[in-house]
Amino acid sequence: MIQVVPVETVAVAAVIDQAEYLHPSICHEDISVSEYFEWEEAVVEKVAAVLDITYSDASAIVGAQLFIMQQAWSMGMEIDQVSKSTIGAA
């Protein structure tokens, strides 16, 4: 049987798998998919507030910057830093 998995889930799994190699202070066991999604949601909310746009529009901006999000998560970057990087790359 073929299982269809959302792209976001695959991307988050890749970030989690890479985290212990990219940021030594992060233990693989300590990271959960829900933590990543909570962090990503906070980034989207910050982008929406800074640009004074809807959550949906901010979500599209953040979603288009997957590489930046992966790097930021693996490096343990703060929400403010990530939102600035995401906005700058958009």
- Residues 46-56 have a mean pLDDT of 97
Please tell me the predicted confidence (pLDDT) of residue 33: 82
Please tell me the predicted confidence (pLDDT) of residue 34: 87
Task: Give Cβ neighbours of residue 76 (< 8 Å, ≥ 6 apart).
Answer: 23, 25, 26
Query: Please, what is the average pLDDT of the chain?
Result: 79
Give dist(CA 31, CA 6) in Å, integer. Answer: 19
